[in-house]
């Protein structure tokens, strides 16, 4: 089992990349690189989620063809992996009909074979921002608590998935940490959500959702974006053909995601896998949001931080260091240019910069420019401290 498979969420292509997704890429990159140092065979996946009503509306608002619009934004996210020096092995797109769609259609058929899909008329509160139906009880003042927008009341005939059938099993697997959720606060949230689970819509009429994967055997319906999107974690491994990558790397060791999509990854995805008879991922790591100078980032306020501009101004290493050093890995954090520059000067220039400079000068002047580490002649006390630091490093990661 000398392998490590880690994924980020796949980014939604209704807008260009922001600093929150940059953080997610970096956190996953640290874990991928660390496991490579341990000698493991690592597969790191990221990509873009390109279907759904929100994408259609964003493309229409700009007067662009949907596929062209999605492709252009997806290219920006792929470009970001290069700008941030991310060591991902693959980049999956849900609009890829050769690589992604066959696995999605196979999963749908598995759910069907398990007797977990049924059709019914439904009326509910649909949030385009989430691409999800919300319970009335979860609304705040009639608005989506995350997007502050009034959901649309939609009545239609959809395919539903028997999520309720798997709530108990998922709960036990989370409690026992067989399916581990980090941090503990997110684990507790999910366990509470599992007490109030309902069957969930897994399709929408094709006339209303023109951009997505068709339901096998029912051209009147388009697959709901979540069953499509979540399957990326196995479609990139060629699950459709149960290919070599799938055989080697599934189940995932870590899905790393933002807190706003915890419910889908901690409840929907395990239920889909259980229904399809597939192993569950080992762990779900959940990070928080980034504010800008204490305020929520929004286009209206004009305070959305562009990660490309950060790299352009401060360099990739400074950007990586600041986000990983300043933002808590499992909680919310705040970005400001002032904080970045103070951290840059205090840590990178003064502390580490001076340390490296002095060590290089010492090696140059006292050791003729050559540092030779021979374990058998290194002082035992120094070796002990090295071992202590290495162990501390492992613990902190």
Q: Supply the pLDDT for residue 138.
A: 76
Task: Give the end-to-end CA distance of the chain in Å, rounded to a whole number.
Answer: 20
Q: Supply the pLDDT for residue 322.
A: 97
Q: Supply the pLDDT for residue 225.
A: 82
The CATH classification number of 3-287 equals 3.40.50.620
d(CA 105, CA 107): 5
Q: Tell me the per-residue pLDDT of 309-324, one tens digit each, with 9 for 90 and over.
A: 999 999 999 999 999 9
Q: Specify the residue for token string 């849900």.
A: 94
DSSP character at residue 61: H
- Residues of the chain falling short of pLDDT 50: none
Q: Supply the pLDDT for residue 364.
A: 93
User: For the chain, what are the domain ranges?
Assistant: 3-287, 295-396
How many Cα atoms occupy the beta-carbon half-sphere of 227 within 13 Å? 33
Q: Supply the pLDDT for residue 270.
A: 98
Q: Supply the pLDDT for residue 142.
A: 81
Q: Which residues of the chain form beta strands (DSSP E)?
A: 3-8, 11-12, 41-49, 90-93, 117-127, 132-134, 152-161, 180-182, 200-201, 203-205, 214-215, 218-223, 254-258, 283-287, 290-292, 295-296, 333-335
Q: Supply the pLDDT for residue 361.
A: 94
Output the pTM of the full model.
0.90
Q: Tell me the per-residue pLDDT of 13-43, one tens digit each, with 9 for 90 and over.
A: 988 999 999 999 999 999 999 999 999 999 9
């Amino acid at each position: 089992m000398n392998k490590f498979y880690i994924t980020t969420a796949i980014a939604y292509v209704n807008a260009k990349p922001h600093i929150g997704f940059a953080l997610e890429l970096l956190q996953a990159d640290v874990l991928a690189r660390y496991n490579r140092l341990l000698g493991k065979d690592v597969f790191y996946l990221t990509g873009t989620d390109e279907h759904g009503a929100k994408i259609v509306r964003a493309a229409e608002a700009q007067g662009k063809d949907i596929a062209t619009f999605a492709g252009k934004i997806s290219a920006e996210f792929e470009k970001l992996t290069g700008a941030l020096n991310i060591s991902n092995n693959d980049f999956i797109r849900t609009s890829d009909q050769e690589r992604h769609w066959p696995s999605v259609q196979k999963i749908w058929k598995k759910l069907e074979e398990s007797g977990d899909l049924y059709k019914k008329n439904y009326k509910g509160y649909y949030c385009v921002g989430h691409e999800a139906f919300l319970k009335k009880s979860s609304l705040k003042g009639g608005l989506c608590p995350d997007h502050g927008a009034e959901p649309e009341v939609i009545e239609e005939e959809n395919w539903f998935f028997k999520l309720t059938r798997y709530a108990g099993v998922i709960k036990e697997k989370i409690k026992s940490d067989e399916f581990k959720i980090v941090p503990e606060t997110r684990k507790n949230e999910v366990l509470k959500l599992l007490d109030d689970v309902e069957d969930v819509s897994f399709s929408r009429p094709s006339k209303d959702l023109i951009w997505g994967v068709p339901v096998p055997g029912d051209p009147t319906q388009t697959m709901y974006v979540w069953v499509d999107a979540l399957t990326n974690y196995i479609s990139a491994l060629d699950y459709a053909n149960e290919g070599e990558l799938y055989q080697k790397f599934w189940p995932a060791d870590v899905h790393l995601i933002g807190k706003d999509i915890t419910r889908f990854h901690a409840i929907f995805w395990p239920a889909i896998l259980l229904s399809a008879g597939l192993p569950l991922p080992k762990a779900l790591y959940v990070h928080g949001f980034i504010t800008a100078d204490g305020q929520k980032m929004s286009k209206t306020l004009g305070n959305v931080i562009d990660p490309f501009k950060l790299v352009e101004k401060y360099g990739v290493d400074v950007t990586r260091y600041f986000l990983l050093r300043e933002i808590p890995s499992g909680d919310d954090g705040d970005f400001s240019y002032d904080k970045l520059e103070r951290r840059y000067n205090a840590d990178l220039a003064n502390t580490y910069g001076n340390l490296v400079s002095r060590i290089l000068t010492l090696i140059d002047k006292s050791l003729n420019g050559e540092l030779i580490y021979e374990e058998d002649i290194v002082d035992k006390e120094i070796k002990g401290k090295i071992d202590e630091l290495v162990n501390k490093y492992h613990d902190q990661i």
